[in-house]
């Protein structure tokens, strides 16, 4: 049965005690509101539809994000980048709201505000993806009752136009020349990125013991699976021409340094809108242009799905025209 008592200041407190259910209480401005709440809760209990929302209502988004960072993000390879997004969310006005209180309309407002501020669609989608996964984990792994994922009901911003930048030979030659003047390892790194279509982190993580006669062994890749990457004769010559380091590494540079040096080289060579990751696009496209099948290319590049492989593949129309005869 529900009981009601008036609190100092005029508010009304409703208490519900029923066998087999947790004791519940809530405070309202009027007695009528307290009675209405109690009636709804007791009705749900009678029909065995009661869901204990207390944990969902007392857990703020900031608290959930802290737990997510400890238990989920810390296990990911991209933990550092994800932690940056988590800290961004913790500074937002939503951080103090409970998980139960946040609705899809709240995140729709966030989406629209971020896009108006000039954020890219990719950035907004990644921000919302963390919240979506947090709710999924809270429901499935943490067992917080009564929650639904508000982001799943949200219309996500359309992705940006797929990038199809491929460097021309004259651009590549200019960048290679400028890169060599910045650091001796840069030309080999650039050419190997194209020859092997390896990711920056995979290439710079190579050690001498990973290099075999005609392939390199990647023990630790972005998607977590082991991969063998075949080496062209040019790639083998590039690797053989590098000095042997005492620490066993192929290259001394860090991923961040390579990106900085590549940007500087492009600027010096007057090459616009070319990123280091575009070299992976270029390498993947060249594999197709050599006549390799989709499955053969996927084996080399490590793409798990054909849709992801398509995003990185932009074939030269002149090469395709030559094949047509």
- Active-site positions read 199, 222, 277, 280, 303, 312
Cβ–Cβ under 8 Å, residues 127 and 114? yes
Q: Is there a contact between 257 and 184 (Cβ–Cβ < 8 Å)?
A: no
């Amino acid at each position: 049965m529900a009981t009601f008592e008036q609190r100092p200041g005029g508010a009304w407190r409703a208490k519900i005690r029923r066998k087999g259910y947790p004791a519940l209480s809530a405070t309202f401005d009027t007695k009528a509101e307290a009675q209405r709440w109690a009636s709804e809760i007791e009705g749900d209990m009678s029909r065995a539809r009661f869901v204990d929302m207390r944990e969902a209502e007392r857990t703020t988004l900031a608290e959930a994000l802290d737990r997510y960072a400890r238990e989920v993000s810390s296990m990911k390879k991209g933990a550092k980048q994800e932690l940056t997004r988590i800290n961004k969310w913790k500074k937002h006005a939503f951080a103090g709201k409970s998980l139960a209180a946040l609705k899809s309309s709240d995140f729709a407002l966030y989406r629209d505000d971020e896009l108006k501020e000039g954020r890219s669609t990719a950035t907004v989608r990644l921000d919302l993806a963390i919240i979506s996964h947090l709710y999924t984990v809270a429901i499935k792994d943490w067992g917080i009752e009564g929650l639904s994922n508000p982001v799943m009901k949200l219309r996500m911003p359309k992705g940006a136009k797929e990038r199809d930048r491929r460097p021309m030979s004259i651009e590549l030659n200019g960048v290679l020349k400028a890169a060599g003047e910045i650091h001796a390892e840069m030309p080999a790194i650039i050419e190997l990125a194209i020859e092997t279509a390896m990711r920056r982190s995979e290439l710079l993580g190579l050690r001498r013991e990973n290099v075999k006669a005609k392939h390199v062994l990647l023990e630790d890749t972005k998607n977590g699976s082991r991969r063998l990457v075949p080496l062209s004769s040019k790639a083998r010559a590039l690797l053989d021409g590098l000095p042997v380091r005492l620490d066993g590494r192929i290259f001394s540079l860090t991923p961040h340094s390579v990106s900085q040096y590549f940007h500087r080289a492009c600027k010096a060579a007057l090459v616009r809108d070319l990123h280091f990751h575009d070299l992976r696009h270029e390498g993947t496209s060249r594999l197709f242009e050599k006549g390799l099948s989709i499955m053969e290319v996927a084996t080399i590049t490590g793409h798990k799905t054909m849709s992801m492989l398509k995003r990185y593949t932009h074939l030269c129309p002149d090469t395709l025209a030559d094949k047509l005869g």
